Amino acid sequence: MSEELQVDKGWRVWWKLTRPHTLTASFAPVFLGTMIALYYTNINWLLFLAMLFACLFIQAATNMFNEYYDFARGLDTEESVGIGGAIVRNGVKPKTVMQLALLLYGIAAILGIYICYESSWLLLVVGGISMLIGYLYTGGPYPIAYTPFGELFSGVVMGMLIVLISTFIQVGSIPNFSILLSIPSVLLVAAIMLANNIRDLEEDKKGGRKTLAILVGRKNAITILSSFFVISYLWIVILVILQIVTPWALLVVLSLKKPIHAIKVFREKENSPEVGLAMKDTALTNTIFVFLLGIGLLIGYVLL
């Protein structure tokens, strides 16, 4: 059995079940939204932590719903590429996966109530819709992940909404500044989902999915992925030129190596374990880019 198909044991099973490489898609937007809030108010760090862990738990639960329903629909096999497959490869009971996902949702809901109490009860509606979308991404009769709209939903909910809510709970409003800075986050979270669909294109075809990557073809999907990266970096450059953000925001260029490598691998490799590295680099691009953007805002604020 190859290294890619080795059975995990102990804590590694549960750690991989959360699909940790995707969790940064929750952490980075919370950090960015909080750094934006610095320009308007003093930060409530308990609220920051509550928001951070609520988002991480919702993301982990969403990944577990994905695990459960991919198994239920016969998409996961022992030969499946990627970090999923804890049920088929490691013998985790499907019922256990679902129960754990619902438990994480419950904890996130409790944290959400605290966040609403400290900010606005209107967030109950927004948070509830976000959690519903997280479930419907792979659950329900018409999973979002099986359509061409997976990138759109994930990008808007995880890339934009998390940034805006993280700012709102601190400031009490949504400044235009936060909307502008959430755009690259939208694109880079969408890039994670698109990269995943490029990697899984052939298996998804067999499973009856109609993802964006399947509809436009592998080559065009890689081109779209490239455009997500290019627009994200150019967006920050333009905001700096227009003096909307501090020049320190250009720290994001330090992350360029990751997307360049990801695109190179996707173009040169197809059925290879190396494609998994391209997927990882895409996720890291989101993390490093958004984190560096937040650091740039922090430095700019301190030097004001």
Residue-wise pLDDT for 65-114, tens only, equals 888 887 777 655 555 544 455 555 556 778 888 888 899 999 999 999 99
What is the second-level CATH architecture of the domain 11-302? Orthogonal Bundle (1.10)
Looking up tokens 């940034």 gives 163
Name residue 276's amino acid: G
The first and second tokens of residue 50, run together, are 């509550």
Q: How far apart are CA 67 and CA 77, in angstroms?
A: 11
| Residue among 202, 206, 289, 211 at smallest CA distance from 249 | 289
Q: How far apart are CA 161 and CA 173, in angstroms?
A: 13
pLDDT, position 189: 92
Q: How far apart are CA 212 and CA 158, in angstroms?
A: 18
The pLDDT tens digits for 44-65 are 999 999 999 999 999 888 888 8
pLDDT, position 111: 96
C-alpha distances out from residue 218 to 142, 146, 213, Å: 24, 16, 6
8 A C-beta contact, residue 209 and residue 289? no
Q: How far apart are CA 234 and CA 281, in angstroms?
A: 19
Task: Give me the average pLDDT of each 10-residue run along the chain (304 residues).
Answer: 45 66 80 96 96 92 83 61 53 81 94 96 92 86 89 92 96 95 95 91 83 95 97 98 96 97 91 81 94 96 90
8 A C-beta contact, residue 158 and residue 166? no
**267, exposed or middle or buried, with CB in 10 Å at 0-12, 13-18, 19+?**
middle
